[in-house]
Amino acid sequence: MILYSVVTICRNEKDNITRTIESVLNQTFTDYQYIIIDGLSTDGTLEIIESYREKFLEKHVELIVISEKDSGIYDAMNKGALLSDGEFVNMLNAGDCFADNNVLANMSQRIDQKADVIYGNANAISIRSKGKMRIYPLEPQNLNTITRTMPFIHQTVFVKTKLLKENLFDEKYKIAADYKFCLTMYLNERKFQYVDIYIVDYYLDGVSSQNIIKTEKEFAAIREEAGLINSKSFSMKIYFFRIRMMSIIRKITPRWFRAIFGGGKI
């Protein structure tokens, strides 16, 4: 059995997919497979993906490519999970990439084989005007904050594949199904492990980073489903009012300012 399955879902990502694929291809550790679930791209993304098939073959790394219609990002992620043969599976978004070429090698030296959910650090990447790049190192919050929010970046997470197959992402959530999965695992007392390495560079243009209010509403619905809150309570109404205000502030405040004076939150 291979150790890792890395899954990337994409649709019309020709400008971003190359950096993702190359970050996987260039890993010094080769005990993994790479699964790409494409949502019938029409912009040349699939052609770019297929151009790497020979290179993965040369490294003796299995590349699985599926291109078909899906009903959303979590439908595509579930397809990738069900195809995974590794002991652990990681969801690496199109456009994001591993932090360096030794991520999988370093992970293999640190993971607890009894862990169910493993997570680490991330670099948030902001592309500013004229192509200038700013990098914001992010370490996870305390794990017990998961009852209120996602304490880590989901692209850093490696999950026991068997566990994910038995608890697929809930597709009724469009932005935060990964949060529901992690919260459910936490409430079910599954074993979490923090690995103090930088796992992923992720770019601040993803679905959840662009939909703050929608994300928080889904988080609240998930927490209510778990019996943690009552979304109709006065305190939650105040909470959503604060979220709306924060969303407005984020739109008018530069990211560098939020990174410096906002406790590292982007």
> Tens of pLDDT along 179-234?
999 999 999 999 999 999 999 999 876 545 456 778 888 998 899 999 998 766 65
Residue 251 maps to a domain: no
- Quote the pLDDT of residue 203: 86
Distance CA 65, CA 86 (A): 16
81, two tokens = 């999970």
Residue 254 maps to a domain: no
Q: Tell how strand 62-67 and strand 4-10 pair up.
A: unpaired
Residue 90 maps to a domain: yes
| pTM as predicted | 0.86
> Tens of pLDDT along 64-80?
999 999 999 999 999 99
- Quote the pLDDT of residue 51: 98
Please say if the pLDDT value at position 263 is more than 60.
no
Residue 237 maps to a domain: no
- Quote the pLDDT of residue 126: 83
Work out the mean pLDDT of the chain and round it to a whole number.
88
Residue 212 maps to a domain: no
CATH number, position 38 = 3.90.550.10
Residue 112 maps to a domain: yes
- Quote the pLDDT of residue 44: 95
> Tens of pLDDT along 45-63?
999 999 999 999 999 999 9
Phi, psi angles (nearest 5°) of residue 132: -70, 140
- Quote the pLDDT of residue 1: 72
> Tens of pLDDT along 33-44?
999 999 999 999
Please say if the pLDDT value at position 163 is more than 60.
yes
Residue 262's pLDDT band, with cuts at 50, 70 and 90, is very low
Q: What is the 3-state secondary structure (H, E, C) of the chain?
A: CCCEEEEEEECCCCCCHHHHHHHHHCCCCCCEEEEEEECCCCCCHHHHHHCCHHHHHHCCCEEEEEECCCCCHHHHHHHHHHHCCCCEEEECCCCCEECCCCHHHHHHHHCCCCCCEEEEEEEEEEECHHHCEEEEEECCCCHHHHHCCCCCCHHHCEEEHHHHHHCCCCCCCCCCHHHHHHHHHHHCCCCEEEEEEEEEEEECCCHHHHCHHHHHHHHHHHHHHCCCCCCCCHHHHHHHHHHHHHHHHHHHCCHHHHHHHCCCCC
- Quote the pLDDT of residue 254: 52
- Quote the pLDDT of residue 266: 41
Residue 263 maps to a domain: no
Name the nearest CA neighbour of 107 among 9, 182, 99, 142: 99
Q: In the chain, how many domains are there?
A: 1
- Please list, in sequence order, all residues whose beta carbon lies within 8 angstroms of the beta carbon of residue 69, skipping any fewer than 6 positions away: 39, 40
Please say if the pLDDT value at position 253 is more than 70.
no
**What residues make up the domain containing 82?**
4-206
> Tens of pLDDT along 88-146?
999 999 999 999 999 999 999 999 999 999 999 999 998 765 667 889 999 999 999 99
